[in-house]
Amino acid sequence: MRWRTALPDRHVIGVSVAADGMCFVATGSGVLALDGPEPRWSADTAAHWGCLLFGDGLLVTGGADGFVVREQRTGAVVGAVEATPTSGPVSLGELLVFLAGQALRATTVTGEVRWEVDVPALYPPLVRRDTVVVAEDTAVRALRADGGPLWRVELSGEVDGSLVGLPGGHVLVPVRGDDHIGFVVVDPHGGVRPVPAHLPPGDLVVPVPGTGLLVLPGWPEPDDLGEPHAVVTVVDSGTGVVVRRHRVPAEAHGAVAGANGLVAVAGSPAWDYWAKYHGWPGYDLEDDCYVLFLDAHGARGEWLANTPITGPLAVAANGDLLVPVSGELVSLG
């Protein structure tokens, strides 16, 4: 462990890291900017989504009434977007793209609407190069940077999680249908192929850098007494072959990949469950709070937090792993 520092709230919504090493932590009660463990500035505004790093040293934070654009170095407000967003924003060149009710909207950082398209989407949009990809109930749609249509493909099932970008402009889509439960891959031209493995669809999928492998939760496996145990699987996205399985102490709820090919997977009991049961006879939950490190060849180590992990993981500019732990941010070297 390199350092740990206090956060304004136990519940962390997102952690973003700039190229210069500054770290921005969005919580339920405010946004905190850090230089290493040292606070640089804070804003007492509840964040509904993580912080978006934007071009020219800007930071976009969001709440129920829209988005605020700040300078990364000082926290000074330089713009605002009034809206009732239903997703966090993504960056498309000089535009912010987000869902607002049943519409996909693109605006400038000062709130000027450049285009808007009716899309009945439930999950955030994904930008691949200069293309915006968004999932409908049973379809995936791609639009040009100006909002014009590129293609739309129907799926043999309902979309059941967020879209994940893969190398080469491909997109991984979680689906749940009568004939296939798991994932499909949509290519940049709208072609669809299934990942031929029976996998639990969902939001927690991380590609292993430099490989065609995916790390994601697997179906629970029974132990010798028939009790189910949480599992993390490594899957070949091309063949659908499950390369390996790793039994973990608790269901994984966070994962992130580093540029070195290492993937960190985290799990722990929810804070409310911990607060209610930890310390009761037979309820020592410390060992259920873990970070597992994997690469293309297998498990490489584990770190026990001994207290709930309360937000998503992030990788610092120097390659350290940042872990929100019960009102603190921990940096692991």
Q: How far is CA 70 from CA 24, 33, 62, 79, in A?
A: 12, 11, 11, 7
Radius of gyration of the chain (CA): 20
Same domain, residue pair 211 and 268? yes
Domain containing residue 287: CATH number:
2.40.128
What is the per-residue pLDDT for 28? 86
Kindly state the tokens that stand for 43: 């804003």
Q: Are 258 and 209 in contact (CB under 8 A)?
A: yes
Domain containing residue 165: CATH number:
2.40.10.480
| Per-residue b or e along 100-110, where b marks 16 or more CB atoms closer than 10 Å to that residue's CB | beebbbbbebe
Enumerate residues 6+ apart whose C-beta is below 8 A from 147: 104, 106, 114, 115, 116, 117, 132
What is the per-residue pLDDT for 283? 80
Enumerate residues 6+ apart whose C-beta is below 8 A from 58: 69, 70, 71, 72, 78, 79, 109
DSSP symbol at 168? G
- Centroid of chain to Cα 135: 16
What is the per-residue pLDDT for 308? 96
Per-residue pLDDT, averaged over 200-227, amounts to: 91
pLDDT digits (tens, 9 = 90+) for 92-148: 999 999 999 899 999 999 999 999 999 999 899 999 989 999 999 999 999 999 999
Domain stops at, among 203, 230, 257: 203
Calculate what percentage of the chain has a pLDDT beyond 70. 100
What is the per-residue pLDDT for 208? 92
Residue 1 has pLDDT above 90, yes or no: no
Report the domain count for the chain: 3
Domain containing residue 53: CATH number:
2.40.128.630
Q: How far is CA 256 from CA 63, 140, 177, 205, 291, in A?
A: 24, 25, 28, 9, 11
Q: Using pLDDT thresholds of 50, 70 and 90, give the confidence band for residue 332.
A: very high
Same domain, residue pair 72 and 153? no
Same domain, residue pair 194 and 214? no
Same domain, residue pair 212 and 236? yes
What average pLDDT is seen over the chain?
Answer: 93
What is the per-residue pLDDT for 223? 81
User: What whole-number distance in Å separates Cα of residue 301 and Cα of residue 291?
Assistant: 9
What is the per-residue pLDDT for 113? 96
Number of other residues whose CB lies within 10 A of the CB of residue 198 = 12
Q: Using pLDDT thresholds of 50, 70 and 90, give the confidence band for residue 172.
A: very high
- Residue 240 amino acid letter: G
Full residue range of the structural domain in which residue 159 is found: 121-203
Three-state DSSP class for 272?
Answer: helix
Per-residue pLDDT, averaged over 47-58, amounts to: 91
Same domain, residue pair 2 and 59? yes
What is the per-residue pLDDT for 59? 96
User: What whole-number distance in Å separates Cα of residue 282 and Cα of residue 21?
Assistant: 42
Smallest Cα–Cα separation from 265: which of 275, 257, 254, 276?
254
What is the per-residue pLDDT for 54? 94
Same domain, residue pair 220 and 325? yes
What is the per-residue pLDDT for 192? 96
Per-residue pLDDT, averaged over 203-218, amounts to: 92
What is the per-residue pLDDT for 122? 86
DSSP symbol at 309? B
Same domain, residue pair 2 and 87? yes
Domain stops at, among 94, 118, 142: 118
Burial of 134 (0-12, 13-18, 19+ CB in 10 A): buried
| φ, ψ of residue 261 in degrees (nearest 5) | 90, 0
Same domain, residue pair 225 and 286? yes
Domain stops at, among 71, 97, 118: 118
| φ, ψ of residue 26 in degrees (nearest 5) | -95, 125
pLDDT digits (tens, 9 = 90+) for 259-304: 888 999 999 999 999 999 998 887 889 999 999 999 888 899 999 9
Residue 159 has pLDDT above 90, yes or no: yes
Residue 46 has pLDDT above 80, yes or no: no
Q: Using pLDDT thresholds of 50, 70 and 90, give the confidence band for residue 213.
A: very high
Kindly state the tokens that stand for 328: 């603190």
Same domain, residue pair 213 and 333? yes
Per-residue pLDDT, averaged over 19-28, amounts to: 94
Positive or negative, the CA dihedral 231, 175, 146, 113 is negative
What is the per-residue pLDDT for 64? 79
The better pLDDT of the pair 45, 108 is held by 108
Same domain, residue pair 89 and 131? no
pLDDT digits (tens, 9 = 90+) for 54-82: 988 999 998 878 999 999 999 999 999 99
Same domain, residue pair 154 and 263? no
What is the per-residue pLDDT for 279? 85
Same domain, residue pair 216 and 125? no
